[in-house]
Amino acid sequence: MIFYLVLVLGIGAYDIICLKKKQIKKDVVIYISLMALATVLGIVYFLQTDEKSLAGYILNLINIEW
């Protein structure tokens, strides 16, 4: 998880510096939102204790056995 967080922060910081140089505020906001989503997904994945995956839940929900 630490590797993932370092990766996200590293890439994020570099990209935001580049985007700020171009002075496009809206792009920065969307970029930060998406990076936040990626971070949250990553943290949830690395901390989850449940064995079932999202696809598993969906398949069970519509009663498909595989």
> Which residues contact another protein (rule: CB under 8 A)?
4, 7-8, 11-12, 15, 18-19, 22, 24, 26-27, 30-31, 34-35, 37-38, 41-42, 44-45, 51-56, 58-59, 62, 64, 66
Furthest C-alpha separation in the chain:
52
Question: Which sign, positive or negative, has the C-alpha torsion 36, 27, 7, 9?
Answer: negative
State the nearest-atom distance from the C-beta of 59 to another protein, in Å: 6
Looking at the Cβ atoms of 2 and 54, the one nearer to another protein is 54
Judged on CB neighbours under 10 Å (0-12, 13-18, 19+), 59 is middle
Instruction: Report which DSSP code applies to 62.
Output: T
State the nearest-atom distance from the C-beta of 2 to another protein, in Å: 13
